Chain A
Amino acid sequence: MAIPKKLREFDVVRDDEKCIRCEVCCRMCANDVHSYDAETDKVSADSAKCVGCHFCEDVCPTEALVIKRNKSQIKRNANWKNDALGNIIKQANTGGVVLIGMGNDRPIRDYFGHIVLNASQVTNPSIDPLREPMELKTFIGSKPDRIELVEKKSKIKNTTEIPPQLELETPVLFTAMSFGSISLNACKSLAKAACDFGTYWNTGEGGLHKDLYPYAHRCIVQVASGRFGVDREYLKKGAAIEIKIGQGAKPGIGGHLPGEKVSAEISSTRMIPEGTDALSPAPHHDIYSIEDLRQLIFALKEATDYKKPVGVKIAAVHNVAPIASGIVRAGADFVVIDGIRGGTGAAPQIIRDNVGIPIELAVAAVDQRLREEGIRHRASLIAAGGIKSSGDVVKAVALGADAVYIGTAALVALGCHLCQRCYTGKCNWGIATQDPYLTKRLNPEIGAKRAYNLLRGWSLEIKEMLGGMGINAIESLRGNKEQLRGVGLHEKELELLGIKHAGEAW
């Protein structure tokens, strides 16, 4: 019978006059799109294989290549679109679960895009960050609700014990991305950038490779359901520990690194046999309720002599506020909330696209809930999932977050074009792959510089926005919903976000 082919997503358009037959595209494309025929002296493309990563377009020395979105379209239909059809065809072919990488690409309401910021006029001078100090220093960790001071020999001393803190020069951290899901060069790039700038990076569930030890003092080590790479040394090396319960891109399910990717390096880092699948179960099999989580939090604190903050990461789901409250009461020093737009190296598409709630609503709900219960100071709140610009950072902080995690944005700085094929291991940019031919394309020194530049650029922009509001320290923005207004949001949404509509005064 005639079998429908995979729907073509892209057309590789080559300007034959510009093409100099250098064959760089042919050598570089991990998906074997381009080929050169010496007999006819023609370079041709098999567009059906193209994933749209734009690597060839960027390396073509004569700009002869343009990757365009598909021309082959089905009859116009408001309900049945190419992607729905495409997935059905794939499943009819294989009978499997459709995999995908990166964050949700559906038009789920972007609340950040419906929020605008304030600026000072007349009654309150705006502050010029180029002339005046503008402070972004942020501490992640549990704070006491007050401190006891005593005066000794006319010197004031604090007698209250302050729990361990992470000190950030900007309220932006690199989120969990494991060695395995991304290359060692990508890990190094982010790790070095975090150290150079004064923020933190996260191992994900990939263990800590020896080459990353020099950056361990600014690393958050993750303990996830597979417990890969976790031993005493791993815990001691990190600056903080994060227990991963859930991830915004795939709430409620585990992870899977296929055996063919488990190379010698990954095997030793994750502490599993070479070539075996690395399966992270959906739940932690020692956490079936909140009291079990408490035990794990304190087991990790015990193991590290109460010298490191221990946090918990969850996906933003319907009941996120009470869950976060439980986590704080269970002893977590920080809580990470990962929204529905959060990224992933691999997830079933049906989960990524349909499960969870937007981070904006989740952060506002959690912050409000913790305040109502009088325990907001007991844990820091990190928002993750869909932070695309410094504007989003400012809005997330004003909605109640202490800091944000970025993943996708950091990878874009390293070259990623969001083709969403991380799970194939054929990342032409050398990011989501373990193929040495591909990973060597990512120079960790240059990668680190680019990720550093991103942090720097965003931090400068955050300072400009703060100065405009007449604020010169980030702590005066944290939870400051007065500085936010909604545009085009209905009353319930405004109520949940805790903000007024544009046009309303103080």
Chain B
Amino acid sequence: MRKRLIPDIDYRVPSACGVTGIMNQKGELFSGEAIYASICNMLERGNGLGSGFVAYGIYPELKDYWCFHIMYENEKAKENTEDYLKRNFGIKHSEPIPTKKVKSLKFIPLLWRYFLGIEKNVESAEDYIIKVVMDINKEIEGAFVFSSGKNMGIFKGVGNPDEIGEFFRVPEYKGYIWVSHNRFPTNSVGWWGGAHPFGILDWSVVHNGEISSYGVNKRYLENFGYFCTLSTDTEVITYLFDLLVRRHKIAFETVGNILSAPFWSQIERIENKEERELLKTLRMVYGPALVNGPFSVIVANSSCMVGLNDRIKLRPLVAATKGDFLYISSEEAAIKIVSPQLDKVWMPRAGEPTIGKLM
């Protein structure tokens, strides 16, 4: 269907990358300059084929509305999508996403944002939004919703992080969680939607890695009504978090024990029987949700930022704190450029989630 313009929707593109995230755990807003500086100190980890940012707390005056960031390949796609949105939502406000001209960027799609209220009677607003986003992305040719939460937004495209950050005027926003990604895909791609962060509802995920268990995870998620249409590994992680945290109400700490489950040999060594049985049960029931292969991810939603590694730490991840700030990044250098004097710096162990929560 969309073969010509966006080749990587038809192929799964493995990529290796740089990730970085900053959170103020008191929820105080700070400008995007910090994240911009952080990701730009890791240009080496990308190859100009994708980067992006996500920020939480950037739309305080419209915080009760679902904010969709949508990219269009053409006017027709925009018309069709807006018709669809009008039928399904009350549109509080819509506008083009403000951008600055950056000469080196190519294939720039039409970029719009919409602030939407659900006027229908729906059982679960979240499930409704997921359905709508999947509908648009699957059914409307040339349209792609790449951000769909409240009081947060994803900005991404094909280019280096300095270019993309400048293009979307990232330093001008203020948020309390910022996460960014620099991409090194192993296929040449020209589609802006293929960049990270990937998001659904207020979830966002940036990911460095390749998931060998993709085939299992994808089919497992289908059982619960998630259909992986984008063919990116990252999509799978996002849906797994939504399924486990939002729908199955499992705490982040425990989700770490599912996605990067401890080894049986580690479980056997645990002395407390209840704890041992719980870990065993988690692996038994959620085996298909185990994410195998090298990865480091930063996952965020409105109240948390979580860093997680694969079970044998095949990709780098470092964390640090300074006052109320939590930093998670692929490289310490990307943290120190923002905050040279840190309270604490550590390497999270394989499979051990690093969790930042709003206090």
> Which A residues form the contact surface with B (CB < 8 A)?
120, 122-125, 127, 132-133, 135, 137, 139, 143-149, 151, 155-158, 160, 162, 165, 371, 374, 376-377, 398, 469-473, 475-483, 505-506
- List 11 A–B pairs whose Cβ atoms lie within 8 Å, in order of A's numbering: A123-B14, A133-B263, A133-B264, A143-B285, A156-B254, A470-B292, A471-B213, A473-B261, A479-B216, A505-B12, A506-B231
Nearest-CB distance from B6 to chain A (Å)?
Answer: 16
Say whether A472 contacts B214, CB under 8 Å: no
A123 to B215, CA, bound (A): 17
Interface, chain B (partner A; CB < 8 A): 11-16, 186, 209-210, 212-216, 219, 222-223, 231, 247-251, 254, 261, 263-265, 274-275, 277-278, 281-288, 290-294, 311-312, 314
Q: A505 CA to B288 CA in the complex, in Å?
A: 23
Other than the known A143-B284, A470-B212, A475-B287, what 8 A-B pairs have Cβ atoms closer than 8 Å?
A: A137-B264, A147-B285, A148-B249, A149-B249, A473-B292, A475-B288, A506-B11, A506-B214
Closest partner residue, chain B, to A477 (CB atom):
B216
Q: Does A471 contact B212, Cβ atoms closer than 8 Å?
A: yes
Contacts of A470 in B (CB 8 A): 210, 212, 292-294
The answer to whether B284 and A139 have CB atoms under 8 Å apart is: yes
Q: Bound complex: CA of A106 vs CA of B48, how far in Å?
A: 56
Majority-rule SS of A interface residues? loop
B215 near A479: Cβ-Cβ < 8 Å:
yes
CB distance from B122 to the nearest CB of A (A): 22
In the assembled complex, the Cα of A124 lies from the Cα of B295 at a distance in Å of: 9
Minimum Cβ distance to chain A for residue B220 (Å):
8
Give 7 nearest A-B pairs by CB, closest first. A482-B215, A506-B12, A475-B287, A476-B213, A476-B292, A480-B215, A470-B212
Contact A146 B215 (CB under 8 A): no
Contact of A149 with B294 at beta-carbon distance under 8 Å, contacts A476-B216, A479-B216 already known: no
Contact (Cβ within 8 A) B281 A162: yes
Distance in angstroms between the alpha carbons of A470 and B209 in the assembled complex: 12
Q: How far is the CA of A64 from the CA of B215 in the complex (A)?
A: 54
A469/B212 in contact, CB under 8 A:
yes
Pick the contact of B274: A123, A155, A160, A477 (CB < 8 A): A155
- B210 near A124 with CB under 8 A, answer yes
Q: How far is the CB of A480 from chain B (nearest CB, A)?
A: 4
- Nearest B residue to A483 via CB reads B215
Please, which residues of chain B bring their CB within 8 A of the CB of A479? Answer: 215-216, 219, 288
Q: CB-nearest residue of chain A relative to B287?
A: A475
Give the CA-CA distance A145 to B285 in the complex, in Å: 7
Q: How far is the CA of A156 from the CA of B274 in the complex (A)?
A: 9
Q: A133-B263, A155-B274 are in contact. Are A472 and B250 (CB under 8 A)?
A: no
Pair B213/A147 contact, Cβ less than 8 Å? no
Q: Measured between alpha carbons, how far is A139 from B261 in the docked complex, in Å?
A: 16
- B314's contact among A125, A148, A475, A505, by CB below 8 Å, is which? A125
Q: Are A125 and B284 in contact (CB under 8 A)?
A: no
Is A133 a contact of B265 with CB atoms below 8 Å?
Answer: yes
Residues of A within 8 A of B294 (CB): 124-125, 470
A35 CB to closest chain B CB (Å) equals 58
> Which partner residue on chain B sits nearest A400 by CB separation?
B219
User: Are A476 and B212 within 8 A (Cβ)?
Assistant: yes
Partner of B312, one of A132, A146, A147: A132
A475 to chain B, nearest CB (A): 3
